[in-house]
Amino acid sequence: MTQEIQSSIPSAEPSTVTIEPGPHALPGDNARKVFIKTYGCQMNVYDSTRMADALSADGYVQTENVEEASLVLLNTCHIREKAADKVYSALGRLREMKKLRHAKGEEFMIGVAGCVAQAEGAEIVRREPGVDVVLGPQTYHRLPQALKQARTGKRVVDTEYAVEDKFEHLPDPTKTPGRKRAVTAFLTVQEGCDKFCTFCVVPYTRGSEVSRPLSQLITEAKRLVDSGVREITLLGQNVNAWHGEGPDGKEMGLGDLLYKLAEIDGLARLRYTTSHPRDMDDRLIEAHRDLRMLMPYLHLPVQAGSDRILKAMNRRHKAADYIALIERIRQARPDIALSGDFIVGFPGETDADFEDTMKLVETIGYAQAFSFKYSSRPGTPGADLPDHVAEDVKTERLARLQELLLKQQHDFARSLVGKTIDLLLEKPGRMPGQIIGRSPWLQSVNVDAKTSQIGDIIQVRITDVGPNSLFAEVAGS
């Protein structure tokens, strides 16, 4: 799902030629094949998997080769401007591929899903006549019906927020024909956002915060474990805003959900992402203290270290609040590693504001982090703010911040050398006998483990640090 769409045909300007639908042959064999390109966050990865599940009932099998697909789906992200630009660039190439395939009498359909589809559905069909289906994040369970309509010649745009629960209409994710389940899996527990940070499009593309019911989540998690999954990562735009009704009728939060999931036999590890500092409550911190299967890694974005900029972002917390929260979490789970998100060059950010961000990073110490230059998104309050920062200033600040964050990441990795850790083995490595596993802190680890199998959790000793991964040997060997 991560293959880039390639074509020897260069991109062209939007064409006024309409592709007449008709009874087309399928390429290669008799099975319809779908290629899914996923942009953006882990929730989009989960959504892409569920779209493939929905399509399996319609006779589709997934392919990693766009050239043999009869359907190409772009599952899009609207967080940054370049992400949307990439989508339109890919659609230009796909338009030319569609002309060639239809000239051969082959079926070739194009669908756009996700947040760009939600935000720019009408614009997509205006600019790209080759697109057959446009679906928002809340309506992708209707994909098979949309494709059926599109085959009659009707271009389908479905970006209304669904009244029905899409998860109730999706097939069991563990029973998709031909799909081999990995040992790790995502599970969306919450969607949407009510925080309305001034830089963010999520409330406008994903809608208000909605939590899936407890019973639905327990059922899906048990099915995943029964199919061989050892580690589940809970997903949500604000995952720690999840709430639901417990068996006793009382309100539950994410901490309570983690305790319930920890009771599932066969489940070895739990994670969750992405969190908001305002929703990090006592019960969730207690879960980090009590549940050894809840991995000691927390992605908790702060975005900036300046109180003035945090207020302009509508984050509704101060830098000191964030630092105090991290101290409480570390008291509960001393071995926890922190990850975060940072935006530099938000409108009005001064040199002093940026230095406050650098001080916060130095104070916290991150094992990993994601940092970006501010990108104005149309329709968000931030786009209308005055005093936008010059591009060269944003570039210089980002370089300084990333240098510090990268040093902290390397320092954390080096601190593990010589230590023995538990490693979940996930997939074969490049070398014979080598297996790649995942550390408790989400790092990729290479180990020679000839007598172990994918899905095993073994003890290894970290021996060295590479640019993007760790190296280890089986403990006691």
Is 200 labelled as part of a ligand binding site? yes
Round to whole Å and give the CA distance between 214 and 218: 6
112 neighbors 76 (Cβ within 8 angstroms): yes
Is 271 labelled as part of a ligand binding site? no
Round to whole Å and give the CA distance between 428 and 453: 9
Per-residue CA distances from 160 to 88, 194, 343, 377, 467 (Å) = 22, 18, 31, 21, 44
- Phi/psi for 406 (5° steps) reads -65, -40
Is 41 labelled as part of a ligand binding site? yes
Is 302 labelled as part of a ligand binding site? no
Place of tokens 């359907």: 71
181 neighbors 230 (Cβ within 8 angstroms): no
Contacts of 280 (CB under 8 A, 6+ apart): 240, 300, 325, 329
Is 394 labelled as part of a ligand binding site? no
Per-residue CA distances from 340 to 88, 249, 466 (Å) = 29, 35, 22
Is 115 labelled as part of a ligand binding site? yes
Q: Which residues are annotated as a binding site?
A: 41, 77, 115, 193, 197, 200
Annotated binding site for [4Fe-4S] cluster: 41, 77, 115, 193, 197, 200
